[in-house]
Amino acid sequence: MTSNGWREGTVPDTYDYFVSFTSTVPIRVYFFTLGQFVQYTVCNGDLTCVSGYYSSLSAATSQSSVPFKLAEGCADYVAIYVASSNGVMYPNIAVKQNSAGFATGYCAQVGTG
């Protein structure tokens, strides 16, 4: 990965998403809605362009099975992995089916889901 470069992937709905990786440089993880991801990419990774609430994990060179659960009832999330400098990331993402049976996260907000 390059400095301030990112890798993205969709978070499957009705699943818990577990962040696990090791890396040679600190990596920060963001969980954006699809709309926020568009804002982020249009502004070339500038977080000041991203509106609304989003979840994130502090920059680290490793994470081990950190759960993200807002997609249990919402098909609107993307995980973004951002490098602090040039380096290598070794992802080991896992998911576990866990349907909420009701809207969660962004989808639970009035007028969105």
Is residue 19 within 8 A of residue 93, CB to CB? The reply is yes
38/47 Cα distance (integer angstroms): 11
**Domain positions in the chain:** 6-101
The three-state (H, E, C) secondary structure of the chain, written as one string: CCCCCEEEEEECCCEEEEEEEEEEEEEEEEEEEHHHHHHHHHCCCCHHHCCCCCEEEEEEEEEEEEEECHHHHCCCEEEEEEECCCCCEEECCEEEECCCCCCCHHHHCCCCC
- Which tens digit of pLDDT belongs to each residue from 35-94? 999 999 999 999 999 999 999 999 999 999 999 999 999 999 999 999 999 999 999 999
Higher pLDDT: 112 or 82? It is: 82
Q: What is the pLDDT of residue 78?
A: 97
Q: What is the pLDDT of residue 101?
A: 87
Q: What is the pLDDT of residue 86?
A: 97
Q: What is the pLDDT of residue 110?
A: 60
- Which tens digit of pLDDT belongs to each residue from 93-102? 999 999 998 9
Rounded mean pLDDT of 8-15?
94
86/1 Cα distance (integer angstroms): 6
